[in-house]
Structures are given as C-alpha cells and as structure tokens.
Structure 1
Amino acid sequence: MSLTKITDKAGLHRHLEAAIQLEHATIPPYLNALYSIRPGANTEAFHILRAVAVEEMLHLTLAANILNAVGGTPDLTVPGFVPLYPAYLPDGETDFQVDCQAFSRAAIETFLKIERPAEGATPGVDTIHKGRKRAHHNGHKRHGTAVRARHVPGHEEEHFYSIGEFYQAIEEGLERLHAEMGDALFSGDPARQIGPEYYYSAGGGLMAVTDLASAKAAIRLISEQGEGVTDNIFDYEGEIAHYYRFEQLLLGRYYQKGDARGRPTGREVAVDWDAVFPIKANARLSDFPEGSALRQGAEDFNRAYGDFLALLTRAFQGEPAMFVEAVGGMFQLKELYYQIMRQPLGDGTHAAPTYEISHG
C-alpha cells in the first residue's frame, strides 16, 4: 500500500486501511510467542503477551471505527491483508522485519522495535519520501518500507519511524479535512461502530467514533497504550505501555510508579527462556509433508484463522454483534496452536502456524 500525505478523503481511507493492517500484523507474532511458551511455564510473560494481544485487537477495532466513521469500509479478507512473515510493517520501518518466532530474547527485542517511542528518531526529522524495498505479502509482492529521512523534493511516499508518528499523521489529516469539510467528514453509518458493550479488557476500553473529538481520543489511546507518552512509562489511564511491558521481560523486573525508563525497581519478573516449544520461525506449508497429519493441521489452522478475519469483517461492515464471537474465536485457536507447536519436525525445531490465508 502506497501512502502519501493526506490531502483528501481517499488518502485518509488508505492510511486507515494501513492502520488496520498494521495493528493486525502484530497479532500473529505476539500469539506465536504466547503459545510457544510451554503450558504452566513463564506465567508472567504469558499474561503480558496475552494482554498485549487483546489490546492490539482493541487498536485494530478503533482504527476500523475511525475508518467507518469517515465513510470507509474495513475489509480484513482482501488478498495480502495478512503478511507473509518475515515482513516489514505497513507504517514505514525498514531497519527491522517482524518474524513469527518462539518466545525468546530476540522475539521480545523485535516487539520493542514494533512498539518503540517516536523519540528514538532524530529530532527534527519527519517522514521519508523515497522508493520502497520489496517484501513478500501472502502470495504476492507488497511494498516494504524505508528508513526515515528528510523530505526529498519530487518524492511523495510517506514512511514513519514509529507507530505513534504514523497515527500523528492520521490525526493531522483528520484535522485538515475537518477544517475543509466540517462534520460532513464523518459521513459513516453510526450503526457500524463497535461500542464498549462489545469489548472487555483490563487496559483501556473501546469507544464509538462519531466526530473529530472521538477520533482523536481513539488515536490517543492507540498511541499511548503502545509506546507510552514521551516522558512517562504509563499511559494517560495509568496503565503501563506495551513497550515497557515487554522491556520488563528483558530487564527482569517490573516497573512501578516513579521509575525512570530503563530502570524498573519493582519485584523481579521470573523468565525461563528455555521453557518454550522451539518452533520454526516463519513456517510455511511447504515445510510440512503433503498428505501428513501435520500439513492437514496447519491447513485447518489457516482456515480457522481466515474465519476469524471474516467474522471481524462482518462485525465491521454492519454486524457489530459478531465482534464478540470473533474475539472469542481468536483465543479458541489456542488448541490448534498447541496441536501444531507440539510436533517436532526432525531438525530440532517444532512446527508452527503459517498464516497462509486465502478467502474463497
């Protein structure tokens, strides 16, 4: 998906479609790490990963609510929506790719890059505007991303160093178009909104988006719940941001109020990096013998995951009650994860879901 500065409603729709794709792209890596933990081990890490995965569903849904509010149509079943890992994220980083791999230090280090604060970039340097690298994306080529740099005249594609900066561009686009169009910008059917009655989570709630104020509130929640505010480990609701939740696992200690970044002083976090299924990173169906029970299990998983995305799409396209079933379905996949991940491949690794999704 090619992104340029938001100057019209179509451009806003493209950014919000990319936002939905971006939020989803984090979910398979987080779930692979989650379910690669052997049952009963690493309970603290398990709860952190599960909570973050739930909140990524919240972020995805908020992005869908914004898109619906401005007259777009969320669709998680379009070809290429699910990345073929390893993959670049849709918002613009190319200094790293995201793998689907087992719970490990390397996995958590990647998750820190996903959730990194905008302040990690060079002050005064905004987006980049230059050609993109190529990256596979579930059966066809998709654009990768490029490293952030100053504006290059004559080149218009936008890329971002952090998710927070990407959402800042969306917010600025919303403000720009609202100044031109007024409340006519929010022309979507309110009946398509997924409200708080359809969602539960310990960290932050779902909100309907009907105007500029609620759209900006949704963006604020997404950005701060992920990377945190610049000078604080905790978001505006007092919840620890995703970046710092993951950092606790590497530092071996919990953050508490008043701590400096990188210096948690809370109780120890017990992590056993070896108590995991050694799943194959970025597995493919071609890694499993045709006709084998393992190949059939991986294909069954892909169909079930495709059904989950189809349910979400129905929820976002006018059947909001389907959202409860869809979120429940995401975690009902747990047994399918375990059935696959318990199977050794004979090379020292275990099998893993492949996320090669097709929609008939």
Structure 2
Amino acid sequence: MKTIREYVETGILSAEDLKGALQLAMRLEFATIPPYLCAEWSVKDFSHHARRALHRIVVQEMYHFALAGNLLTAVGGTPSLAHSDFLPVYPADELPGGIPQELPVGIRPLVKDQLAVFMQIEHPDFPPVGRLVEQPPPTIGAFYDSIQMTFQTSPPEIDPDAHAVRVPHARPIRTVADAIEAIDRIKIEGEGVPDSPTAPTGGSTSHAHYYLFKELYVQRRLIKVDGQWSYSGESITLPEVHHFEPSTAEPNPSLGFRRVLTRLLMELESCWTTGADVNDAAMSTMFELQSAGEALIERGIRPEFVWMQPPG
C-alpha cells in the first residue's frame, strides 16, 4: 500500500491508485476519532465550551469519514473497515499513511498536553496565524490536494447510484463536482485553507479544527483586532476532567465496549456494501458506544478501540 508521501510525490496514476488513496483517507479520518472522542467524554461538565467544541469537531470528523467512503464507492471501490487492521494502535508515532507525529497520538483526557497533540494532527499545510512553534508542515492537506487534482484533471467515471452513507453534510457523490466539493469541505473544516481563519467553516462562525484546538490550548478566544487575528479574546478555562488509565482487571472491563465497536464497524461497512440505511442500525450503535465509553471513563478506565473477532 502506498504512503501519503508517495501519493503526493508521484501523484495518483490509475483508477486503482485512486481507490487506494480513498481507502487510506478513510483510515486517516477514522484515526483521529478515538482520541477526540475520549477527550470529549472525559470532560465532566456537559455544558462546558471545551466539551461542546470537541463534540463539534468529532461530528465533523465523522462526516469526513463518511465523505471519504462515499467518494470511494462512487469511483467503484469498496470500503473495508470490518477487520482488525483498520483500527490504529494507540499510542501511535505516525498517522495512517506514514505521517510522522513528533508527539505520540494516544487516548488521553482533555488536558493541555493532549491539546498540543491535537494541534499537531490538524496543523495546516501552510503557516497558520499565531503559530506557536516552527515545525515542518504535514502532508495531509497535500494528500487531499492530490486526490482533488485527480478528479479535476483525470475525472474518473462516477456511479451516481453507488451505495452511500447518508448523514447531514455527507451526501452521496453523484458527480465530479460533488467529489471536488466534498474534498474542499474536508480540507476547510480540518486544517483550514490559506485564508483561514478569515473564512469560517460550515457556513457558521466556527473556525477550522486547528484554531478551535489552539483556542483551548492558549485559553483565549481567537478574535480580530484592528484587522488582525489574535488569541486575545475572552478567557477560556480548561474543564475538570475524568482521568483514566488502561485496566489490567479480569475479566477485561472493555470487552463490552470492544463488542459494540466491532458491531459498529460491521454495520458501517454494510451501509457501503449493501446499501443499508445508517439510521436503521449504525446510528443507534454509535450512541451505545458513547454510553459504554463514557461509563468506562467515569470509572477511570481507558476504552480499548480494538477489534473483537465475532464468533463463528
């Protein structure tokens, strides 16, 4: 399987290459969800700004994951996620596709060190405003640019009747224009675009994920002062959180969580392979996973995002 750097440096050379890139995009988008989810679940006050910001980000990442799957089926591919290799192993020194991470990506409460990890994940492919430190830009944005360039310069055949996950902001891909628009959305909502944060995302006043995380990190709102953006707005207090660690107890208290996660991956894959409606099964399973994860975290136990082979 090609790495993201290879896709960026050599381009996408065939229809199979494009399918491989979009399957990798699904893995990349999913890899951010467990750390973000557990950070959200760790916040004790459900009404706290930080929890609401994390929830918004997680929902958008889920939409990006769905869009990547819809793009893959639209070009004749088959999403593959109901197996152990789809799930990242945390802590991770690199994101799927070989994107190195100086700060390991792990599953931890919403503390300042974890916010630094999240900023690293979402760091733009261009210098963001109010940059904390100098670091080489990541290649996630360039990866999506390579995918988008393929749709623009060598448009693949689109199956307008391909199975798709239908959720808000992740509609089926019927045309090449739909594909280009979907990739734009993923880029703008995640790391932003070169004119960020001037251009809020999603038709709202919300900034791209990088800027939302940095607001929490510096504990100040990002505002415009005399025509310039700066983190000099309203003060933000970091929330009280549940701290959690891996459990060594027997039986493993995360077994139930792992069963629900496995069922969710199977149901999501079925949406793309059989046309099953995500609202008929997978949506309720997502809420079941949330309840199980929150219950573990409240007990001080880190949820295990690990595949559990179904019986038989």
Distance 2:42 2:250 in 1: 24
SS in 2 for 1:94: strand
Alpha carbons of structure 1 residues 52 and 247: separation in structure 2 relative to 1, 3 Å: same
CA contact (8 A) 1:77 1:310 kept: yes
Give CA-to-partner distance per residue, 1:233-255, whole Å, 9 cap, x none.
Answer: 12373431111111111122223
> 1:315 deviation in Å?
1.4
Distance 2:47 2:126 in 1: 31
Q: Report the equivalent of 1:89.
A: 95
Distance 1:232 1:59 in 2: 19
Distance 1:255 1:188 in 2: 42
Q: Report the equivalent of 1:352.
A: 302
Larger displacement relative to structure 2 (161-170 or 65-74): 161-170
SS in 1 for 2:301: coil
> 1:330 deviation in Å?
2.1
Distance 1:190 1:113 in 2: 38
CA contact (8 A) 1:72 1:188 kept: no
Distance 2:112 2:294 in 1: 21
SS in 2 for 1:217: helix
Q: Report the equivalent of 1:143.
A: none
> 1:338 deviation in Å?
2.8
Q: Which runs of 5+ in 1 are unaligned?
A: 122-146, 149-159, 179-184, 200-204, 344-349
Residue 338 in 1 paired to residue 294 in 2?
Answer: yes
Give CA-to-partner distance per residue, 1:54-73, whole Å, 9 cap, x none.
Answer: 11010001111110110001
Residue 279 in 1 paired to residue 285 in 2?
Answer: no
CA contact (8 A) 1:171 1:216 kept: yes
SS in 1 for 2:22: helix
Q: Within 5 Å, which residues of 2 pair with 1:11-22?
A: 11-22=17-28
Alpha carbons of structure 1 residues 324 and 50: separation in structure 2 relative to 1, 3 Å: farther
> 1:260 deviation in Å?
4.0
CA contact (8 A) 1:29 1:100 kept: yes
SS in 2 for 1:118: coil
Distance 1:359 1:224 in 2: 37
Q: Report the equivalent of 1:142.
A: none
Residue 270 in 1 paired to residue 275 in 2?
Answer: no
Residue 193 in 1 paired to residue 164 in 2?
Answer: yes
Residue 210 in 1 paired to residue 174 in 2?
Answer: yes
> TM-score w.r.t. structure 2 length?
0.85
Distance 1:93 1:176 in 2: 26
Q: Within 5 Å, which residues of 2 pair with 1:1-360?
A: 1-3=1-3, 4=6, 5-38=11-44, 40=45, 43-87=48-92, 88-96=94-102, 97-120=104-127, 161-178=138-155, 185-188=156-159, 190-195=161-166, 198-199=167-168, 205-233=169-197, 234-235=200-201, 237-238=203-204, 239-256=206-223, 260-261=228-229, 263-272=230-239, 275-280=240-245, 283=246, 287-291=247-251, 295=252, 297-323=253-279, 325-343=281-299, 350-360=300-310
CA contact (8 A) 2:158 2:176 kept: no
Q: Report the equivalent of 1:141.
A: none
Distance 2:48 2:211 in 1: 18
Alpha carbons of structure 1 residues 320 and 216: separation in structure 2 relative to 1, 3 Å: farther
Distance 1:194 1:249 in 2: 32
Distance 1:324 1:89 in 2: 31
Alpha carbons of structure 1 residues 335 and 221: separation in structure 2 relative to 1, 3 Å: same
Distance 1:353 1:28 in 2: 9
Q: Which amino acid aligns with 2:142?
A: E
Distance 2:108 2:191 in 1: 22
Distance 1:314 1:260 in 2: 48
Distance 1:309 1:174 in 2: 28
Larger displacement relative to structure 2 (79-88 or 44-53): 79-88
> 1:351 deviation in Å?
1.6
> 1:314 deviation in Å?
1.3
Distance 1:120 1:306 in 2: 39
Distance 1:325 1:256 in 2: 41
Q: Which amino acid aligns with 1:288?
A: T
CA contact (8 A) 2:87 2:307 kept: yes
Distance 1:317 1:216 in 2: 23
Please give the root-mean-square deviation of Cα atoms over the aligned residues, in Å: 2.4
Distance 2:224 2:67 in 1: 28
CA contact (8 A) 2:260 2:288 kept: no
Q: Which amino acid aligns with 2:161?
A: P
CA contact (8 A) 1:91 1:163 kept: no
